[in-house]
Homo-oligomer: A and B are copies of this chain.
């Protein structure tokens, strides 16, 4: 499309010119000068053709187009995720695809090498966003926002070696939900875990488990609560070997812990969290993972990752193809990195790995051979006669103006069979047929594609009848 408005200044000048100026010589002179420009412009038209054979047509490494079929699946998943975020009272937010390079530095540790930088074309040094969390923290600091519950669905870019089989790309979509602000301990943290459970259950991806990083919990106890390392590791013996809801109970039964004032304090937050998770009915979904490491520099508290548990029926290979479908954690220090005075805003959040989920759902649909409608067309405007384009155009405009989703064939004289086959292939439920006879009788034939039944309806009742049929189906 042309650059919207690049010409609008001139366009307005002429618009006003025409309103003021009477027809005549001025106009004609204008035509000539302009038409010469047009012929000059034409010369460049075909040049690029010479080069087309020099390159292979492809998308950049690690990226892909989404076909109409894929878009339908993608939209279903995103709608489900966003509606859950809204159910928990989140506001929407959008940030630019790129940030000032310096905004991203020192946020991602060893992963910084995976950031896409833009070419220095004069002006600012820019990088494509690597996640939605750092831009969110930048937004909070920039606007001095101290409290916010927001969701953000958007693409992020990472120069990883892509392994497409696992549904991982260099460009991928993230769905983030975060709670920023100073609140009583573990309440927002528990809600984030609840949201992950709601979404993974809602998408019916099978059984799943949320694995919390023991290392980060232990760090909280030792470095922040001053618990002795050996006591923390005694707790560790429990969490790694049991985990889940029974965890806290068992630890409080162990005299080496229950009789240690420090230990009890150290266990306080853990106890709180599992109390809340139990009230939310999701405690048994949570366990600890010794291997889970703080993925990014900015995490300050517990981090967690959700993994799908496949039935033994599936092959080991498929198991490995699943991996993590959601992750999150607490990052109380990130906003302070942006604030000139270092003022912090505690944050906790989650991110849904929709690409991975998308691959799973897509694979499942292929397995079950589900057919997907890629359009929402409700009515097709057909004719059995030649030279009925004008009547079809008049009729379809009436349908469009009534808000009905309608299509016709862009041909002067299409075959009726071709038109009806198109409806069957595209899953269009209704056909309106107009021919000489209908025109004479002032009616339209309304045909159900499924039952092939046809009824004649007066023109003035057509829209109402169609809307009635659509509301019933």
A97's contact among B66, B97, B327, by CB below 8 Å, is which? B97
Q: Closest chain B residue to A4 by CB distance?
A: B353
Q: Closest chain B residue to A229 by CB distance?
A: B35
- Inter-chain contact A68/B88, CB cutoff 8 Å: no
| Chain B residues closer than 8 Å to A393, beta-carbon distance | 187, 190, 276, 279-280
| Chain B residues closer than 8 Å to A297, beta-carbon distance | 44-45, 48
Pairs A–B under 8 Å by Cβ, sample size 26: A1-B174, A1-B329, A1-B350, A1-B351, A3-B296, A8-B323, A8-B324, A11-B291, A11-B305, A11-B307, A12-B319, A14-B290, A34-B291, A35-B218, A35-B236, A48-B337, A57-B142, A60-B124, A63-B96, A65-B142, A71-B92, A71-B93, A97-B155, A119-B119, A183-B410, A279-B390
| Chain B residues closer than 8 Å to A126, beta-carbon distance | 60
- Inter-chain contact B324/A188, CB cutoff 8 Å: no
A111 at the interface (CB under 8 A from B): yes
- Inter-chain contact B338/A52, CB cutoff 8 Å: yes
CB A303 to nearest CB in B, in angstroms, measures 6
A262 at the interface (CB under 8 A from B): no
CB A184 to nearest CB in B, in angstroms, measures 5
- Inter-chain contact B65/A91, CB cutoff 8 Å: no
A311 at the interface (CB under 8 A from B): no
Segment at the B interface, from A102-110, A431-439, A441-449, A463-471: A102-110
Q: How long is the Cα–Cα vector from A86 to B376 in the complex, in angstroms?
A: 6
Contact string against B for A residues 113-124, beta-carbon threshold 8 Å, 1 for contact and 0 otherwise: 000111111011
- Inter-chain contact A184/B411, CB cutoff 8 Å: yes
Main secondary structure of the interface of A (DSSP, over half): mixed
Q: Closest chain B residue to A176 by CB distance?
A: B1
Q: How many copies of this protein are present in the complex?
A: 2
Q: Closest chain B residue to A237 by CB distance?
A: B28
Q: How long is the Cα–Cα vector from A342 to B154 in the complex, in angstroms?
A: 35
A49 at the interface (CB under 8 A from B): yes
| Chain B residues closer than 8 Å to A174, beta-carbon distance | 1
Most chain B CB atoms below 10 A, which of A68, A166, A350: A68
A450 at the interface (CB under 8 A from B): no
A141 at the interface (CB under 8 A from B): yes
- Known A-B contacts A61-B123, A342-B52; the reply to A9 vs B320 at CB < 8 A is yes
- Known A-B contacts A68-B150, A141-B57; the reply to A406 vs B89 at CB < 8 A is yes
Residues 131-166 of A at the B interface (beta carbon under 8 Å): 131-133, 135, 138-139, 141-142, 150, 155, 157-160, 166
Q: How long is the Cα–Cα vector from A174 to B48 in the complex, in angstroms?
A: 25
Q: Closest chain B residue to A391 by CB distance?
A: B279
A231 at the interface (CB under 8 A from B): no
| Chain B residues closer than 8 Å to A44, beta-carbon distance | 109, 297
CB A330 to nearest CB in B, in angstroms, measures 11
Residues 74-90 of A at the B interface (beta carbon under 8 Å): 74-75, 86-90
User: 4 extra interchain contacts, Cβ-Cβ under 8 A, other than A1-B350, A280-B393?
Assistant: A49-B337, A65-B93, A65-B96, A65-B142
A315 at the interface (CB under 8 A from B): no
Contact string against B for A residues 10-54, beta-carbon threshold 8 Å, 1 for contact and 0 otherwise: 111111001000011001101110110111011011111101111
